[in-house]
Structure 1
Amino acid sequence: MADGHRGRPLDGRTALVTGGAGGIGRAVCAALAAAGARTLVADVDGAGAERTAAALPGAAGVRIDLADPEDVAAGVDRVRAAAAGGVDVLVHNAGVSVIGPFCQSDPADWDLMWRVNARAPMQLTQAFLPGMAQRGFGRLIFVSSDGARAGSGGEGAYAATKAALFGLAKTLARETARYGVTSNVLCPGPTDTPMLRGVAREHPGLVDRLARRIPVGRLGEPRDVAEAAAFLAGPGASYITGQTLSLSGGLTMH
Structure 2
Amino acid sequence: MDDLRLDGRLAVVTGGAGAIGAAICADLAALGARVIVADLDHAGAVTVARRLSRAGAEVVPMLLDLADPASVEDFCSAAGPVDIVVHNAGVSIVEPFLSGDPAGWELMWQVNLRGPMLLTRSLLAGMCARSWGRLIFVSSDGARAGSGGEAAYAATKAGLFGLAKTLAREAARHDVTSNVVCPGPTDTPMLRKIGDAEPGLVDKLAKGIPLRRLGTPKDVAGLVAYLCTERAAYVTGQTLSVSGGITMQ
Using structure 2 for the length normalisation, give the TM-score.
0.96
Number of matched pairs: 245
How far 1:77 sits from its partner (Å)? 2.1
Shift of 1:7: 7.6
Matches of residues 57-96 of structure 1 in structure 2 within 5 Å?
Answer: 57-80=57-80, 86-96=81-91
C-alpha separation in 2, matches of 1:7 and 1:129: 22
Structure 1 segments unaligned to the other structure (5+ residues): 1-5, 81-85
Name 1:83's counterpart in structure 2. none
* 8 Å Cα contact 1:174-1:242 kept in structure 2: yes
| Partner of residue 97 from structure 2, selected from 83, 92, 102 | 102
Percent identity between the two aligned chains? 62
Q: Aligned match of 2:140 in 135, 139, 145?
A: 145
Amino acid at match of 1:87: V
Q: Distance in 2 between matches of 1:215 and 1:164?
A: 28
Asked whether the equivalents of residues 8 and 36 of structure 1 are also in contact (C-alpha less than 8 Å), the reply is no
- Counterpart Cα distance in 1 of 2:131 and 2:70: 29
Shift in Å at residue 230 of structure 1? 0.4
Residue 163 of structure 2 is aligned to residue 168 of structure 1: yes
1:190 and 1:55 map into 2 onto residues whose CA distance is 26
Structure 1 counterpart of 2:29: 33
Match of 2:8 in 1: 12
Distance, in Å, in 1 between the alignment partners of 2:79 and 2:103 is 29
Query: Is 1:253 matched with 2:242?
Result: no
Alpha-carbon offset, residue 78 of structure 1: 2.7
How far the C-alpha of 1:51 sits from its partner, in A, is 1.0
Kept in 2, the 8 Å contact 1:62–1:78? The answer is: no
For residues 108-123 of structure 1, the aligned pairs below 5 Å read 108-123=103-118
TM-superposed deviation, 1:208: 0.5
Within the alignment, does 1:178 sit opposite 2:173 as a pair?
A: yes
Q: Which runs of 4 or more aligned residues in structure 1 lie more than 3 Å from their structure 2 counterparts after TM superposition? A: none
Q: Secondary structure at the match of 2:75?
A: helix
Residues 95-122 of structure 1: CA deviation (Å, up to 9, x unaligned): 0011110011111111100000000000
Query: Which residue does 2:229 correspond to in 1?
Result: 234
